[in-house]
Structure 1
Amino acid sequence: MKKSLIALSLGGLTIGITEFVMMGLLPDIASDMKVSIPVAGYLISSYALGVVIGAPLLVIAGRNYAPKKMLLILALMLAVFNALSIIAPDYNVLFASRFLSGLPHGAFFGVGAVVASRLADKGKEAQAISTMFAGLTIANLIGVPIGTYIGHHFIWRYTFVLIAIVGLLTFLAIYLWMPNLEKGESVNMKTQLQFFKKTEAWLIIGITAIGFGGLFAWISYIAPLLINVSKFEPEDVSSILILAGLGMVVGNFVGGKLADRFSPAPTTLALLMVMSLDLVLVYFFSFNQYVSLFLTFLTGAISFSVIAPIQMLMIRTAKGAEMIASASLQGSFNIGNALGAFLGGLPLAAGLSYSSPNLIGVAMSIIGMIITFILIKLHQKKVQLQHI
């Protein structure tokens, strides 16, 4: 494996721990900050909001930088802004630090996805991108369970010390291993922003923000689901999250292979259909501990298998504006993060069971399927018109 892709994967590891460890730490932070779990869940939405805002703005601000310099700046931001959470004295400051931590997320993956595709061997672009996202899955396999364990058994703030250290290692790896790629052809922002006039662009954003949001309706409240419905002990959560992480590792690489072998749009449609069926199973059968463990692995695998097909779908649609389109896609993923966490918290605030957020996830996945179907039909119509 190329060292440059390993450097990008380390960035994915930093971002993955930052984004997903909050789900496992919700009970600890809620208790320490003396807020309810749904209110603590807004910390997830705050991070996602930072991603949505930071993704396009930072790519625009750094458009004149070489890719390596841009990635170095973003890696440093990841380390510094996560370090702020270590010293946050109250909920409001922690909320702000989570927002700041989200700012470089989308831009890093947006720039990194384009860089990975340029570094890839011909015909293996999606697999190169999935290598970068492998850091995200390894975070869920190893980093998030370790961070959750630290939060349960010591102090949750120590988890953010770990994240800051990994962020600095990312900076060092990019500095040492990333080649000095040229910026490529200079394209003014007006030309790049023309991409957002395409109907396809907004359909892909909708698929990502709503369809992929089904994952976050599940994982945002996985700790209380496992504790209150599956009846696991709180100290078991960090170990169980390893299963989710293992599923994400498997799903990420499977999704990369599927995206290189088949057309991305039908692949996305099929995977969203499977995700909706899976979340129905989570809702009905999480009371059984053995089934719950299996579904934890399966849901992680299915959800992350969607990433590479959607990423390739966006890049292929955005000829000449790949970087800002890819960054915006990361913002879309985190709109899904915010929507899933917020909408999934509504039935909990209404007093329903900790299984209920999964029904919200089912609805979001189905809406994502409908939008994907519209995108496929739109593409077919354009192809037919070209042959008239």
Structure 2
Amino acid sequence: MSSDPWGRVDETGTVYVRTAEGEKVVGSWQAGTPEEALAYFERKYEGLVVEIGLLEKRVKTTDLSAKDAQTAIEHIRHQVDEHHVVGDLAALSARLDKLVATVDSRREERKAQKAKQADEARSAKEALVTEAEELAQSEQWRSAGERLRALVDTWKGLPRLDRKSDDELWHRFSHARSAFSKRRKAHFAQLDAQREDARKAKERLVAEAEALQNSTDWGATAARYRELMADWKAAGRAQREHEDDLWNRFRGAQDVFFAARSGVFAERDAEQTENLTAKEELADEAEKLVPVTDLKAARAAFRTLNERWEAIGHVPRDARPKVEGRMHAVERAIQEAEEAEWRRTNPEARARAAGLTGQLQDAVEKLRKQIDAARAAGNDAKADKLSKELEGRQALLDQALKGLEEFGG
């Protein structure tokens, strides 16, 4: 007969384990000594200890689900309750009870976390829907379209809500995108229709211009060409792939006619030389408008000069590229000034610049307060570190303020 604090073996080879409720039969051992019997069942007990320890670690350090953890606990508890081991079974039961409490606590934590994540996801999706509905009314087709695509990517990255809420929000979100797409499609369809009308109108003008190019009725034909040019400008732009070809044909037909007229009226060279002088004087006046300081005045002045230019008539053929090039250079300068003015007064760009400046100002003010607090607390190392960060933020702020000045304040 052999025994230890947690078990014993009687003379028949029956092994017992001691519990608070009394001795329980563990099993029977006939193959060796009682000491070997106790050692065998103690090893089985240590196996349960190790198994519980591993489960405790998994519960604390992994994302083991509460359901799986509970199943594992019940499996081990069943082995403990069957008492086929020798050791402190009450200690094992206590550890399992504590583990159950831990799993329940983790279950509640995860439940609360999921509820929080659901609230955050709902708020995020509601914000996406609100922005999408605002963008649906925009006429900034490219930027709004790109932003809506970005919102879709953001939506896909958010967790799903309950089916009813998610479907309702998605319906609003999808409806806003569809409304924008419908408006954009209608806009470009109308634009395409206008360009197609312009193409047909310009094809008719080209056909007439080419029909007139061999005319010798110089005065009437030249007048008609001027009318055709006015009609051309009023027709608007055709599709890009047609515009240049139509213009080249239209201008080519005029060139054929005016070249022939110039050949026939060679005696008018003197008049054309005078025209050249007059146009060079106009080019001199036009060049004084550059650099553009008063866009409105420059535009009006150039329009007047251009009307006088058109009224002057032709210049010698070999001199035309140079003198026209001077006027075109001034016209391009005014157009560039118009584009710069548009960019400067662009409310979207101004808003972005103002927003960035405000964020940087807040960041600089926050850093200054943190530095003062660190100095007051005697933490000079932290204050010095924050001061270096402040230098960088201040440099960005100075740059942003300078950029904002370009928008007029």
Normalising by structure 1, we get a TM-score of 0.21
- Structure with the largest fraction of helix: 1
Computing the radius of gyration from Cα coordinates, the structure with the larger value is 2
Higher relative contact order (CA 8 A, sep 6+): 1
